[in-house]
Copies of this chain bind each other. A is one copy, B any other.
């Protein structure tokens, strides 16, 4: 990896942190440059507009999520075990020491749910892909016989996503230590109703 690629990666990693806690729109080139210890124009030269930086940060986040959540889950046997691994990884993603601002995508979702443009489009694509992945994982539970045949995978994915969103909210804003337990209890109830 060349020098340029290294600093670019460092920028994107720092950018993810800032964007996750302050928002993709508030992510300013000058402050980000200070944070990684370089000049504003030096950083700017890597991306040639703010929008390109935002898109790059989003894509970097997508890769990070795939690597630390989706990947490990795919290592588990399809069906319920995989679903459980997915939840574990996801909750850790929402709240871990190397994710200072929580989930970048939930932050961005709130920010761009009423905006237009390329950044929103990219975000929607990422979220749809994630949802499809969730739906597929739920489908496999039916196919493997872990869930009843009449369980609707899209409905299941919706409710699972809901629990993860609430987990994020309860832990990060309300700082409720009971949140992980509530999330898991809800998950067990959800699973039980699909058996």
Q: Which residues of A contact B (CB under 8 A)?
A: 20-23, 25-26, 100-102, 106-107, 109-115, 123-124, 127-128, 131, 154-155, 158-159, 161-163, 165-166, 168-170, 172-174, 178-179, 182, 185-186, 189, 193
Q: Closest approach, in angstroms, between the C-beta of A99 and any C-beta of chain B?
A: 10
Instruction: Determine whether the beta carbon of A101 is less than 8 Å from that of B127.
Output: no
- Give chain A's interface secondary structure class: helix
Set B109, B154, B163, B182: member contacting A110, Cβ < 8 A: B109
Residues in B whose Cβ lies below 8 Å from that of A166: 158-159, 161-162, 165
Instruction: Determine whether the beta carbon of A127 is less than 8 Å from that of B174.
Output: yes
Instruction: Determine whether the beta carbon of A163 is less than 8 Å from that of B159.
Output: yes
Give the docked Cα–Cα distance between A166 and B107 (Å). Answer: 14
Q: How many copies does the complex hold?
A: 2
- In the complex, 23 of the A-B residue pairs with CB atoms within 8 angstroms, ordered by the A residue number, are A22-B114, A23-B25, A100-B114, A107-B111, A107-B113, A109-B169, A109-B173, A112-B173, A113-B169, A124-B174, A131-B174, A154-B182, A158-B166, A158-B170, A158-B186, A159-B162, A159-B166, A159-B186, A162-B163, A162-B166, A165-B166, A165-B169, A189-B193
Q: Closest approach, in angstroms, between the C-beta of A15 and any C-beta of chain B?
A: 15
Set B111, B128, B161, B193: member contacting A193, Cβ < 8 A: B193
Residues in B whose Cβ lies below 8 Å from that of A178: 154
Instruction: Determine whether the beta carbon of A127 is less than 8 Å from that of B159.
Output: no
Instruction: Determine whether the beta carbon of B169 is less than 8 Å from that of A186.
Output: no
Q: Closest approach, in angstroms, between the C-beta of A52 and any C-beta of chain B?
A: 20
